[in-house]
Structure 1
Amino acid sequence: MSVRTRPKIFLIDDHPIVRSGLESEIKASGDYEYCGSASSIKEGTKMMGFAGPDLLICDVSLQDENGIKELDSIRKKFPEMKIVFLTMHRDWSYLQDAISAGADGYILKSDSMESIMASIKKVLNRGKVFPGEIANFSYDEKHIREVAEIVKKLTKRESQILNFLSKGKLNREIAEELKLSVRTVEAHRASIFKKLEVDNMVELTRILVQLKSLDPN
């Protein structure tokens, strides 16, 4: 009878405390095998060649590297490995980039350890983990091309505000940037939502992700 092997997890983060905390949780769970960690993607790639991880948990902003920008090269070296980003970045633009690049998950460091471990389990069970379950949207190219035309017809001010919203800016922050009242920003935001037929930021982000997939440049 064959012995069932535990999934191997590797960590890349330039904060020793983060690596230590995750290492402890992974080992304590008993469900996974901790197979190593590194402070950089360059170092980690060399080590993973020997460790053979099933899942990589990687920070986005490392000292001299961007995890999302390096994802494609990591995939080429380890095509079967799941890749999850664990980050402090709440910006929608980072999230969009991670999804467009083909990440299996995007988890915030501010999440509870219980939530992080639950997310790891879901990814290893072939699921996707993104805030707001954004990964579960359906892609309709005809529809998204129609949406792209609507976006082109937004007013100059609406386009500015949509750009700020895509970066995770709050109404108050946008108002300060554009020297407008919060009420005015709210009115423009409501107009954008109405034109794009969305009700909240999660739905708007789905639209933005699909638009980026349509034209990654």
Structure 2
Amino acid sequence: MTEKATIRVFIADDHAIVREGLKQILADSRDIVVGGEAENGLDAIRLFPKSRCHVMLLDISMPDKNGIEVLKQIKKEYPDTQVLMLSMHREDQYAIRSLKAGAAGYLTKQAAPKELVVAIRQVAAGQKYVSAALAQTLASQVGEDHTTPVHDTLSDREYQTLTLIASGKTVSDIALELSLSVKTVSEYRARLLVKMKLKNSAELTHYAIRNHLVE
């Protein structure tokens, strides 16, 4: 894709006000148009193929399927799609996990509108986009002799459950937020405790805070 070609963008975010805000930002760019949108993960997977879009702006925290699950399925079925993760979570929480799953870039929702436009153009051109701070983090890891942190071995749902527990949410709260049954969330919590060799939610919370996985 050349720089002057029109970039069609698909927006997947469960907040209508966020989708509208993104559309207003992109409306000022002559080379970018919004070709579709979805309010949850399942709709994103269903509607994206019909949109003929080149780039997907994908939120991580959505009901039914979280953003990383959607990312993996989209990249499996449409490998040429460039997915830019757009999240309220800090980069050190989800960025590296997203990039490993196939994302072309990661941007927090606190980023300036100009940075969003630059990021879209960059990933549409087949390049990766990360902030200067994240680039420094990635560079510092090259050649490091370290063991993989336990939280990096968790599945996406397990990791999400960990961060939500550490944020003070109960199993019932998490079930409601993720559109899952209380039983399913309880199973994720049980698997977390076994994998991480911890005893209870308090220890999970302490681990998450110590490793900067939550604010």
TM-score tier by shorter-chain length is: 0.5 to 0.7
Matched, 1:94 2:140: no
Write the deviation string for residues 8-62 of structure 1: whole angstroms up to 9, x where unpaired. 1100001111111111222321112210111012112222211121100010001
SS at match of 2:211: helix
Matched, 1:126 2:149: no
Partner residue, 2:71:
71
Partner residue, 1:29:
29
* Whole-Å separation in 2 of the counterparts to 1:37 and 1:161: 37
Unmatched tracts of structure 2, length 5 or more: 151-205
Q: 1:198-209 residue pairs with structure 2 within 5 A?
A: none
Write the deviation string for residues 78-98 of structure 1: whole angstroms up to 9, x where unpaired. 110100111101162312211
Amino acid of the residue matched to residue 76 of structure 1?
K
What is the CA-CA distance between 1:147 and the residue it aligns to?
2.6
Q: Scaled by the length of structure 1, what TM-score is found? A: 0.62
- C-alpha RMSD over aligned residues: 2.7
Q: Which has the higher helix share?
A: 1
CA gap of 1:163–1:101, structure 2 versus 1, over 3 A, is: farther
Query: Percent of counterpart pairs with the same letter?
Result: 25
Unmatched tracts of structure 1, length 5 or more: 152-159, 170-217
CA gap of 1:163–1:16, structure 2 versus 1, over 3 A, is: closer
Computing the radius of gyration over CA atoms, which structure comes out larger, 1 or 2?
A: 1
CA gap of 1:27–1:162, structure 2 versus 1, over 3 A, is: closer
* Whole-Å separation in 2 of the counterparts to 1:30 and 1:21: 17
Amino acid of the residue matched to residue 210 of structure 2?
F
